[in-house]
Homo-oligomer: A and B are copies of this chain.
Amino acid sequence: MLAAARTAFAERGYDGASIRAIATAAGVDPALVHHYFGTKDALFLAAVQLPADPDDFLPEVLAAPPDQLGAAVVRTVLRVWDGPARPGILALVRSAVNHEWSARLLREFVLARIIRRVVGTLDMPVAEREARGALVASQVMGLVMARYVLRLEPLASARPDDVVAAVAPTLQRYLTGEVDLSGRRD
């Protein structure tokens, strides 16, 4: 059921995927889906959170020495996105672009469960960590959009090692180089 839900949410988005169609694809009765997951929201959360549990890939990133953190982040992003979790994460991204509640969900999830843990390895004030984390998130999200959603060539077909070589210096500078986002606009 979760596999069918992930495929349906990824292909048709949150609004377009119906519990009825998901049940049909999974070969079960819609009542069974309702019984197990209750609402479509709960099914969505179960579908999108399971395929890419940060606990599965973060330890490798967190184990990297500070001057290798940028490369470790890119390498792990590519490994997760090139793996079986892609449809589920894509569903989350699609939903986040369409629904304010889902954007909030994704932002909180990415901030609390990924970014803060990565920049938490750096010895600096919290505000500076948050700024660096937001910049890292911007390049990671853009890489994902360009390579996996819009499929911009040659980035979409490039070897992971070449993508790491091209993008890791950006993340490394955002993490440990000179950046300052402390000013706020009026």
Interface residues of A (CB under 8 A from B): 13, 15-16, 93-94, 96-98, 103, 106-107, 110-111, 127, 130-131, 134-135, 137-143, 145-147, 149-155, 157-163, 165-167, 169-170, 173-174, 179-185
Tell me the number of copies of this protein: 2
Evaluate whether A153 and B169 lie within 8 angstroms (CB atoms) in the complex, with A158-B184, A162-B180 already known.
no
Query: Using Cβ atoms and an 8 Å threshold, which residues of chain B touch A94?
Result: 97-98
Evaluate whether A166 and B97 lie within 8 angstroms (CB atoms) in the complex, with A150-B107, A158-B181, A183-B158 already known.
no
Query: Using Cβ atoms and an 8 Å threshold, which residues of chain B touch A142?
Result: 137-143, 145
Evaluate whether A97 and B106 lie within 8 angstroms (CB atoms) in the complex, with A158-B184, A173-B170, A179-B166 already known.
no
B149 pairs with A96, CB closer than 8 A: yes
Q: In the bound complex, what is the Cα–Cα distance between A163 and B135 (angstroms)?
A: 9
By secondary structure, the A interface counts as helix
B103 pairs with A97, CB closer than 8 A: no
Option from B96, B138, B165 in Cβ contact (under 8 Å) with A147 = B138
Q: In the bound complex, what is the Cα–Cα distance between A171 and B13 (angstroms)?
A: 32
A143 pairs with B150, CB closer than 8 A: no
B157 pairs with A184, CB closer than 8 A: yes
A152 pairs with B181, CB closer than 8 A: no
B107 pairs with A97, CB closer than 8 A: no
| Residue of chain B at shortest CB distance from A97 | B97
Identify 9 residue pairs between A and B in the complex whose beta-carbon atoms are under 8 Å apart, listed by A's number.
A93-B97, A94-B98, A97-B98, A131-B155, A137-B142, A145-B145, A161-B183, A163-B181, A166-B180
